[in-house]
């Protein structure tokens, strides 16, 4: 069997297990991917996915919080978790001989957490500080405002951290009801990469998660991109994000959109970096992004600039984006393709990235994509398709978020007019 062979097993209760052995490595990453995130929360549950992620490390029937930390760190390992819009991931990286320990801890915290009242109150305080820190950081705050404006009044646009009022009110009853609704075996994927053996992972996971029931499907309202504008006067620099509706994970233009985003703002040789920073000195940092979700996406540009330069920086940015839909060059596309290949294929050389990659692909596509599939999809992109994807991205109503002095920042209607006029040239 090839050292790169991916193996998948689905247990009777619906739990999926996917592993990717990696040749020549002596460490391994084990993860549990849960198909629930902030998007799945009702308004009264806002922040509950993130709160549960924090509470998972605060004690089980077998281990208190210190014992959990000591168990993994005494083996030289690392244990962590992250909550996103559409999923939550718990993961541990350890030496090969400690894979069983890592999976045992993950199983323990996901099936036997006790949610002690005192621990909950302490962790609420920690999360409230985390929320306050985001409010004090313009780089983070501007993206929270951007998401909220892009998907106005919808869970997909809400902060992952939650609202202070909601966080303060969470209790064990709310947690256990949420776990019962979303943490069923059929909504979990156990992934492992590095120095791992599939059969051993399957055997242990079967024992750890055998009593987990299946969840009934939970409906999520389709995302409705609205576009819009949000401003907040805070700080001395002007931080802005301008974006448009993008493509979902499985859209036929998804790869082309990623390449377009990389070409226009993915590095120091990109158009935006050259036009905005190098030629005009209007910003220290500027970059584009392209995010995909289950049924929608977001494409945009982020930068921070001196307040007096904000207007010009935005005009140059919009003109560069529109021009790229018509005159993106073969050289620019080739460079972006190479960057995308490196980014995607680097996961094959890192056990944490690989464990995350195979879980996400299983969740999105129902299977793990091969290295050849990924490369072939990138190589098949033509200049015409990449330009067309860029043009499609810029057709939606724009979203603007700005933090800091914003008198020089144009209105969202002016941005729409500018991008339209530039695209017609």
Nearest-angstrom CA–CA distance, 81 and 34: 11
**Residues whose CB falls within 8 Å of the CB of residue 264, separated by 6 or more in sequence, listed in order:** 270, 271, 272, 288, 320, 321, 324, 328, 390
pLDDT tens digits, 17-34: 999 999 999 999 999 999
Six-digit token string for 359? 């879980």
pLDDT of residue 79: 98
Q: Is the pLDDT of residue 45 over 50?
A: yes
HSE-CB of 329 using CA atoms within 13 angstroms: 6
Q: Is the pLDDT of residue 423 over 80?
A: no
Domains 7-208 and 228-423 share a fold: yes
Six-digit token string for 172? 């064990």
Top CATH class, 7-208:
alpha beta
Phi, psi (degrees; rounded to nearest 5) at 90: -115, 130
Percent of the chain at pLDDT exceeding 90: 93
Secondary structure element (H or E) that encloses residue 27, with its range: strand 27-34
Q: Where are any strands of DSSP class E within 39-114?
A: 78-83, 88-95
pLDDT of residue 424: 55
If DSSP codes are grouped into helix, strand and coil, which group holds residue 231? Answer: strand
Nearest-angstrom CA–CA distance, 290 and 246: 7
pLDDT tens digits, 215-228: 888 889 899 999 99
Secondary structure element (H or E) that encloses residue 17, with its range: strand 16-21
Q: Is the pLDDT of residue 339 over 60?
A: yes
pLDDT tens digits, 370-389: 999 999 999 999 999 999 99
pLDDT of residue 216: 84
Secondary structure element (H or E) that encloses residue 192, with its range: strand 188-194
Alpha-helix residue ranges (DSSP H) falling in 297-350:
310-327, 330-345
CA torsion 329-335-337-340 (nearest 10°) is -140
- What order do you get walking across the sheet with 399-403 strand by strand? 228-232, 399-403, 238-246, 297-305, 286-292
pLDDT of residue 3: 44
pLDDT of residue 421: 64
Six-digit token string for 302? 């982020």
pTM of the predicted model, to two decimals? 0.94
pLDDT tens digits, 400-421: 999 999 999 999 999 999 998 6
Phi, psi (degrees; rounded to nearest 5) at 99: -60, -40
Top CATH class, 228-423:
alpha beta
Provide mean pLDDT across the span 344-359: 93
Yes or no: say if 422 and 319 are a contact pair by the CB < 8 Å rule: yes
In terms of DSSP bridges, do strands 16-21 and 188-194 run parallel, antiparallel, or are they unpaired? parallel
Yes or no: say if 162 and 46 are a contact pair by the CB < 8 Å rule: yes
pLDDT of residue 119: 96
Nearest-angstrom CA–CA distance, 160 and 50: 7
Six-digit token string for 214? 């299946």
Q: Is the pLDDT of residue 2 over 80?
A: no
Yes or no: say if 424 and 173 are a contact pair by the CB < 8 Å rule: no
Q: Is the pLDDT of residue 344 over 90?
A: no
Average pLDDT over the chain reads 95
If DSSP codes are grouped into helix, strand and coil, which group holds residue 229? Answer: strand
Q: How many helices (H) and strands (E) does the chain have?
A: 16, 11
Q: Does the annotation mark 278 as catalytic?
A: no
CA-closest candidate to residue 55, choices 88, 33, 28: 88
Q: Tell me which residue has tokens 């996961």.
A: 347
Six-digit token string for 332? 């620019």
Yes or no: say if 400 and 229 are a contact pair by the CB < 8 Å rule: yes
Q: Is the pLDDT of residue 367 over 70?
A: yes
Q: What does the domain layout of the chain look like in residue ranges?
A: 7-208, 228-423
pLDDT of residue 345: 85
| Number of residues assigned to the chain | 425
Q: Tell me which residue has tokens 């996400």.
A: 360
**Residues whose CB falls within 8 Å of the CB of residue 173, separated by 6 or more in sequence, listed in order:** none
Q: Is the pLDDT of residue 425 over 60?
A: no
Nearest-angstrom CA–CA distance, 28 and 194: 4
pLDDT of residue 422: 56
pLDDT tens digits, 251-293: 999 999 999 999 999 999 999 999 999 999 999 999 999 999 9
In terms of DSSP bridges, do strands 228-232 and 188-194 run parallel, antiparallel, or are they unpaired? unpaired
Nearest-angstrom CA–CA distance, 364 and 131: 30
Which of the following is catalytic: 41, 53, 86, 144?
Answer: 53
């Amino acid at each position: 069997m090839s050292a790169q062979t991916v193996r998948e097993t689905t247990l009777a209760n619906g739990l999926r297990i996917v592993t990717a052995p990696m040749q020549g490595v002596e460490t391994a990453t084990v993860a549990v991917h849960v198909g629930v995130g902030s998007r799945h929360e009702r308004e009264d549950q806002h922040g509950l996915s993130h709160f549960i992620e924090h509470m998972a490390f605060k004690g089980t029937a077998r281990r208190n919080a210190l014992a959990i930390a000591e168990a993994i760190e005494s083996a030289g390992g690392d244990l962590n978790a992250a909550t996103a819009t559409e999923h939550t991931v718990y993961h541990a990286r350890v030496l090969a001989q400690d894979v069983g320990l890592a999976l045992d801890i993950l199983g323990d915290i996901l099936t036997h957490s006790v949610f002690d009242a005192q621990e909950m109150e302490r962790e609420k305080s920690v999360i409230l500080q985390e929320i306050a820190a985001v409010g004090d950081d313009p780089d983070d705050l501007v993206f929270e405002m951007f998401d909220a404006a892009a998907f106005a009044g919808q869970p997909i646009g809400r902060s992952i951290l939650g609202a202070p009022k909601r966080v303060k009110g969470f209790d064990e009853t709310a947690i256990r009801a949420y776990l019962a609704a979303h943490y069923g075996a059929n909504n979990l994927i156990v992934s492992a990469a590095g120095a791992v053996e599939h059969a051993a992972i399957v055997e242990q996971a079967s024992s750890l998660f055998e009593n987990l029931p299946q969840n009934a499907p939970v409906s999520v309202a389709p995302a409705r991109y609205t576009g819009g504008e949000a401003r907040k006067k805070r700080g001395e620099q002007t931080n802005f994000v301008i974006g448009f509706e993008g493509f979902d994970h499985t859209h036929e233009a998804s790869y082309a959109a990623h390449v377009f985003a990389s070409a226009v703002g993915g590095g120091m040789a990109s158009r935006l970096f050259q036009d905005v920073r190098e030629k005009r000195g209007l910003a220290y940092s500027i970059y584009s992004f392209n995010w995909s979700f289950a049924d929608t996406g977001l494409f945009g540009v982020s930068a921070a600039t001196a307040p007096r330069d904000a207007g010009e920086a935005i005009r140059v940015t919009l003109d560069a984006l529109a021009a790229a839909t018509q005159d993106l060059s073969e050289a620019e596309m080739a460079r972006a393709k190479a960057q995308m290949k490196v980014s995607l294929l680097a996961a094959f050389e890192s056990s944490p990235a690989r464990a995350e990659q195979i879980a996400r692909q299983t969740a999105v596509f129902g299977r793990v994509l091969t290295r050849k599939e990924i490369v072939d999809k990138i190589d098949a992109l033509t200049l015409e398709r990449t330009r067309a994807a860029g043009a499609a991205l810029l057709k939606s109503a724009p979203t603007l978020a700005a933090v800091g002095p914003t008198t020089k920042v144009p209105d969202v209607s002016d941005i729409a007019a500018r991008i339209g006029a530039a695209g017609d040239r």
